Every structure is written in structure tokens, then in C-alpha cells.
Chain A
Amino acid sequence: MRGSGNYRDTGTGSSEVRLLCDLEQTEPSWTVRHVGGAMRGAGADQISVLVRTMVESKVSKNVLRMFYVLGYRLDHELLRVGFSFQFNRGAQITVTVSSVNKMLKLHATDEAVPVTPGIQMVEVTAPASAENYTEVAAAVQSFCEYLAPLLHLSKPGVSTGVVPTAAAAAASLMSDGGGTPL
């Protein structure tokens, strides 16, 4: 389980940061993450995956209080519950399958409700540098194509609608001999 909050600075202009707490460990561990805007331009349109900068820092447990003291305010808070898989296929690929839940009270992880009941989010990510991101993007795209019989993954911002579950897709594949309607 991982909770995360998006915090926005209220005094110094638009400045957003994510604080992630890994609740699965015996002692919760915190990470600060800054996610930059998506790569834009003609080059970006050619790439079928989303490329954006991300910087992370592991931090000690006082981070929430520190950001409040610095003038940041909570924008929204989510709880992600699910699984994470690691693959090495041309790049170090992480696949997470999770439900996204909102908390009815601040930090109340026991009282979270799904944002989209019955629907899980599948995310495929891989770290890259400025020098190799095109190769990594190609590896991620290739991996997504490999998953295509079970799952249709799309570039964020390019909607493909709701996808049937993997089990239903596999059953459909076996009965139809191919081609799963989306």
C-alpha cells in the first residue's frame, strides 16, 4: 500500500510536490517526488509513451510537517493498493497494478474508498536518462505490445476507454480465436 499526497505551495506561486509514504514496511518510509511536465514537441508526438522528468529523494519521517511549515498545503491525498512487478526487457520496467482510493478523512487509510470501484490502474514505467530515453521508450512500447493480448495500454492523455479484465480478455481470445473488443 502506498499513500501519497500532492502538496502545493501557497505563497510562492505554483509549486507542486508529491510526498509518498510506503505503508507496506514495518516502519513507514517516505519519499519526496517531483514530476515535471510531459516532453512536448514534434519529437514527443512521435514517441508512443509519455516521457517526463522525475526526481525522487528518500527522506526521514518529518517530511510532512516540514512541508507544512514551509507553506505547502495539501492539494489531494490518495491511497494506492496493489502490486508491483519488475521486468528486465531492454530496460528496467516496473508494472504496477493498483486500485486508487480516496480517504474520507485526512490520512485515514483505514477509511479509504475506491475512486473507480472495480477498475484498476495499470502503469508501466521505466527510468531513463537524457541520453537513452528513446531506447527506453522503445523498450517500454515493445513491452506494452507484448502485453497487448491481455491488456491495451495507452499513452496518458490518449484515452482508450475502460479495458476488460485480463481474465475476460483471455477467455475472449480463446473463444474468438483473437481480437478483443475494447
Chain B
Amino acid sequence: MPVRWILHWQPNQGSSVNSHILNEISQCVDNFNGVKDGRWKATLTFYRPNLRDSSMAATEFPRDFIGISLMEVPNKYFFIIRGHKLVLEADSSILTIFEKLQSYKSKVALNFEGLQYKLGDFQVRLIKVVPNTAENLRGILMEIEYLPISSVEKAKPIIEEFVEIWREVLSKKSLHGQFMRAEPNFAEYGLSDNYTWQHTAVQYAAALAQLIASVQSRN
């Protein structure tokens, strides 16, 4: 499948993410003659251990256990444990199994919603990150997919160039921030050069970790 990069909006020190920034970026994509290609959605869930024995310390269990569902593959579910460089692809029935096991419960869920655009050989998705139970914007992501190539290494220089063009365009808008990429080491997750949905899941987890870190540093 085509390689995609996931970038997160990093506000400058003292700035925050807001819907004005999102609108300005959308405007840029429209100005680039991007063709709107539909809506897009994903959900990311943080899980915590369901400790029935109060003497058990929560620290004995992973704190970064994340699940991701992607609209494009509704019959699949992905688990990531970043601290252990672990990614698992499963049928979506794995959620039913975990509900029955009752060992882990959903703590917080975030919705990723956005629009996708076609720009030549690229597909771009502009994504807002909102909590499942609220409407306030928590972050902005941009997904850039280069359709002709499925090799991570071969796509790198091409997507890098595309990202640079975007950064330059957006820098003229004085949006007090820029898109950054938390580039995960795919090999550490046991992933090959051939791009897969697991690569996407790992990138989302990495991007989200950066969003959380930047929110925490501002607070």
C-alpha cells in the first residue's frame, strides 16, 4: 500500500492550537487546487488496567496501551504499546474479546476527523483531534500519502520535498507554529520497508504522544 507520513501541528512557545489555524490550513489546500475526496475518521483509545486487587500497582502494567480503529479498514483494530515498541494488527472482534476479558478498560478516546484531498499523486488528509466526549480541538494532524510507492525508504525524499513546500506556504501565513513529524523507527517495531496499516498505526501513536507532550509543556 502507498506510503503515508503523519505530521502533527506544533504550536510555537506561547501559542496554542485552535480552529482558526485549521481553517487557514484548509484554505491553503484549497488554493493548491486540492480536490476534496471525502471525509475521513479514526478513533484512538487509551486503555488502563482494570485492577481488582488494590494491592497491585498500576505501574506494573503498561501506561501507553493504545488501540486504533481506522475508517479505511473497519474490520481491523490495531494495538500499540509504545514503550515496548509493540504493534499488533487484529480483527475487530478483538474488542469483543477484551470486553469479555475485562482486564483492560477504555480510559479516554480521541476522535480524528477530517477531510481528504487529492493533489496529483498525493492524497492529503487534514485532521482535527477532538476528545470523544467533547468538541474542543486538541490538535491538528496532516496525513500525506504518496500513491505510487509502497517502499518507506524510496518514498522518503519525495514526501520530504512535498512537506517542505507545505511548510514554506504555511510559514507565510503567520500561524505561530509548524507541522512536525515524530518519525518512529519502524524496524524497532519489527516492521519492514514495505508500508502497511501497522506503519500507519505506529505513526498515529507517535504523533499523539507528541501532541500530548506539547500540551503538557504549555501547561
Please report A residues at the B interface, Cβ cutoff 8 Å: 9, 11-13, 15-17, 32-34, 36, 55-60, 62-63, 65-66, 69-72
Contact = CB atoms under 8 A, between A and B. Distances in A.
Contact of A11 (B61, B87, B190, B198): B61
B60 A11 contact: yes
Contacts of B86: 62, 65-66, 69
Contacts of A32: 90, 94, 97
Chain B: interface size category: 20 to 34
Contacts of A63: 88, 90
B88 A60 contact: yes
A55 B100 contact: yes
A140 to B, nearest CB: 23
Given A12-B104, A66-B86, A72-B103, 11 more contacts: A11-B53, A12-B52, A16-B101, A17-B97, A55-B93, A57-B92, A57-B97, A62-B86, A66-B81, A70-B49, A70-B62
B9 interface: no
17 contacts: A9-B101, A12-B102, A16-B101, A33-B97, A55-B93, A57-B97, A58-B91, A59-B88, A59-B89, A60-B88, A63-B90, A66-B81, A69-B81, A69-B84, A70-B81, A71-B49, A71-B60
A32 to B, nearest CB: 6
Contacts of B53: 11-13
B22 to A, nearest CB: 34
A57 B65 CA distance: 19
Nearest to A33: B97
A108 to B, nearest CB: 23
A69 B100 CA distance: 19
A39 B79 CA distance: 31
Most buried by B among A17, A55, A58, A72: A55
Nearest to A61: B190
Contacts of B91: 56-59
A60 B51 contact: no
Interface of B: 49-53, 56, 60-62, 65, 79, 81, 84, 86-94, 96-97, 100-104, 190, 198
Given A15-B102, A70-B104, A58 B51 contact: no
B50 to A, nearest CB: 5
A12 B51 contact: yes
A66 B52 CA distance: 21
Given A58-B90, A69-B84, A15 B103 contact: yes
A39 to B, nearest CB: 15
A62 B61 CA distance: 17
B62 A69 contact: yes
A13 B90 contact: no
Contacts of A55: 93, 96-97, 100
A65 B101 CA distance: 17
A128 B170 CA distance: 56
Nearest to A71: B61
Given A59-B90, A60-B90, A66 B97 contact: no
A31 B93 CA distance: 11
B70 to A, nearest CB: 15
A15 B88 CA distance: 20
A56 B90 contact: no
Contacts of B79: 66
A55 B94 CA distance: 8
A58 B94 CA distance: 8
Contacts of B92: 57
